[in-house]
Amino acid sequence: MINQRETALQIEASKSKRVVEVKWGDGHVSRYGFSLLRAACPCAGCRGGHENMRSEPDEDIFLVELGESDATMLAQIEAVGGYGIRLTWQDGHSDGIFTWHYLRELCSCAECRDEK
* Selected range binding Zn ion among 6-14, 63-71, 78-86, 99-107, rule: CB under 5 A: 99-107
**How near is the Cβ of 96 to Zn ion at its closest, in Å?**
4
Residues 15-74 that bind Zn ion (CB under 5 A): 41, 43, 46
Q: Which long-range contacts (CB under 8 A, 24 or more apart) does 100-105 make?
A: 100/6, 100/7, 100/8, 101/6, 101/55, 101/56, 102/40, 102/42, 102/55, 102/56, 102/57, 103/8, 103/22, 103/30, 103/32, 104/5, 104/6, 104/24, 104/30, 105/56, 105/57
84 makes contact with Zn ion (CB under 5 A): no
* Selected range binding Zn ion among 9-17, 19-27, 67-75, 91-99, rule: CB under 5 A: 91-99
Q: Pick the closer one to Zn ion by CB: 48 or 81.
A: 48
Q: Which of 96, 98, 100, 103 binds Zn ion (CB under 5 A)?
A: 96
Nearest to 56 by CA among 104, 89, 110: 104
112 makes contact with Zn ion (CB under 5 A): yes
Give the gyration radius of the chain's Cα atoms. 13
**How near is the Cβ of 16 to Zn ion at its closest, in Å?**
22
Residues that bind Zn ion (CB under 5 A): 41, 43, 46, 95-96, 107, 109, 112
